[in-house]
Structure 1
Amino acid sequence: MNYILLVLSVLIGSLLVFIIKPSNKIVRLLLAFSGAYLLSVTVLHLLPEVYTINSNHKSIGIFILIGILLQSVLESFSKGAEHGHIHIHTDGKKFPALLFVSLCLHAFSEGLPIHNSDSNLLWAIVVHKIPIAIVLTTFLINTKYTKKTVFGFLFFFGLMSPLGVLVGDKIPFFTTYGSEITALIIGVFLHISTIILFESSENHKFNLQKFTAILLGILLTIFTL
């Protein structure tokens, strides 16, 4: 079921672009909601869980900080695609290999801690991936890449998180160091979710629709834990 939902999240996001072409305003609200939901699950669920499992709190904190730094490095290659803003210009001739690799690494890492957690983390990633898939698909179809290239990119991107779930569940290294891996991914989630919320603000003005989307994301997490 985990694998299906993760693949469907990318498929749904991509299909929305081809079917209804959501406006930038709708995408920003979806990003704000997903960012708030991901942040809430991280703070209310993953953080307490990992500190309970592992008594070496300093070590867990270090891995969280490493996760934040790791995501900062990946973002320098992906140009912000993980949080819904692809700051890259291309003529459609040279395939953005670094964008592809960094996005796939990020998607793979998201799946690693899922088998150690309940459904809240799974749904947080699913909700997060839908608007990201919308932004990624929109970017790809606005380039001059062939349809084969576009669909190939989306296909492999969609498989990365399920692959992470499989590796995290079956490879002994990831099960042995499950709490450290989870702490690393917490750092990644903290970086991404806060950037999403900050970047969804325009000129630092209060936006009722954005605030409502964030509040809904937080409340959904509270009432489903």
Structure 2
Amino acid sequence: MLLNILILFLSTFIAGAFLSIIPKKRPASFKHLLVFAGSYLFSITIIHLLPEIFRISENFETVGFFVLLGFFLQVLLEHFTSGIEHGHLHHKNHFQVKSIFLLSALCLHAFLEGTLLAHPNIIQHHHGSGALLIGIILHKVPAALALMSVLLYRNIKRPQALLLLFIFALASPMGLFLSDYLITIGVISEKTFIALFALVGGNFLHISTTIFFESSPEHKLNLSKLVMAVIGALVAVFAESLI
């Protein structure tokens, strides 16, 4: 667990901190990388997370309800973030949102993500947990880049921006640590955690599909993005079978 905590924190903080050094530079292939990450996340959700949740649950209807609830919870969170958590930048929208609301919404989402890696004996059975960790990292790195871009766009001083990034980077590790601790001491039941995992699964479905929709707003076939999406899906299948 400690290794996962370090990986989650360092990958997020280092990515955002790097952008603070070169805030005006953004790779031209950023959208293609988002498509790859979105495809990977969607595939891991479909082939690993949701099947595992349904497999260990005694009530399929309840799981489906929480997946649906998680989907619409993400819609609500994006009212405050305008899509930063899946790497999208809409500076005019973010400029109207106070930093505290933006950070709170992002941290809530990141905290929930961290719970997915908690107590693997309950839901992950070790197999596939590495693939899920990769998926979360591929999701969090663009979010960290987008967050720092917005903070710097608002002319927030670099030390303050790094502090906010630090708080955001801690959210997923805290979700992992706290949820694992609470279920170990029996404060939260396994059924509650299954519902929580289903909730995050719904979050992931919304985020990954939104990336696809926003990558082609005119609904035109873009061969290069399609190739990246297929590669992302294939990498997810490969990672799921080996890691």
TM-score, normalising length: structure 1: 0.91
Alignment of 1:1-225 (within 5 A): 1-17=3-19, 18=21, 23=26, 25-89=28-92, 95-115=98-118, 116=120, 117=124, 118-172=129-183, 173-174=187-188, 176=190, 177-225=192-240
Q: Secondary structure at the match of 2:45?
A: helix
Counterpart contact for 2:69–2:199, Cα < 8 Å: yes
Counterpart contact for 1:167–1:174, Cα < 8 Å: no
Counterpart contact for 1:168–1:175, Cα < 8 Å: no
RMSD: 2.2
> Percent sequence identity over matched residues?
38
Counterpart contact for 2:13–2:169, Cα < 8 Å: yes
* Whole-angstrom CA distance in 1 between matches of 2:101 and 2:27: 25
Counterpart contact for 1:113–1:168, Cα < 8 Å: no
* Whole-angstrom CA distance in 1 between matches of 2:84 and 2:161: 15
* Whole-angstrom CA distance in 2 between matches of 1:74 and 1:91: 13
What's the CA shift for 1:178?
Answer: 2.0
* Whole-angstrom CA distance in 2 between matches of 1:77 and 1:160: 17
What's the CA shift for 1:81?
Answer: 1.1
What's the CA shift for 1:94?
Answer: 8.5
Task: Report the CA distance shift for 1:12/1:61 in structure 2 as closer, same or farther (over 3 A).
Answer: same
Q: Deviations over 1:35-67 (max 9, x none)?
A: 101000000001110011002100000010110
What's the CA shift for 1:95?
Answer: 4.5
What's the CA shift for 1:86?
Answer: 3.6
How many pairs were matched up?
225
Q: Secondary structure at the match of 1:25?
A: coil
Unpaired runs of 5+ residues, structure 1, are none
What's the CA shift for 1:224?
Answer: 1.7
Name the amino acid aligned to 2:13.
L
Unpaired runs of 5+ residues, structure 2, are none
**More divergent stretch after superposition (86-95 vs 199-208):** 86-95
* Whole-angstrom CA distance in 2 between matches of 1:62 and 1:183: 9
Superposition misfits of 4+ residues, deviation over 6 angstroms: 90-94
What's the CA shift for 1:200?
Answer: 1.1
* Whole-angstrom CA distance in 1 between matches of 2:41 and 2:94: 34
* Whole-angstrom CA distance in 2 between matches of 1:91 and 1:75: 11
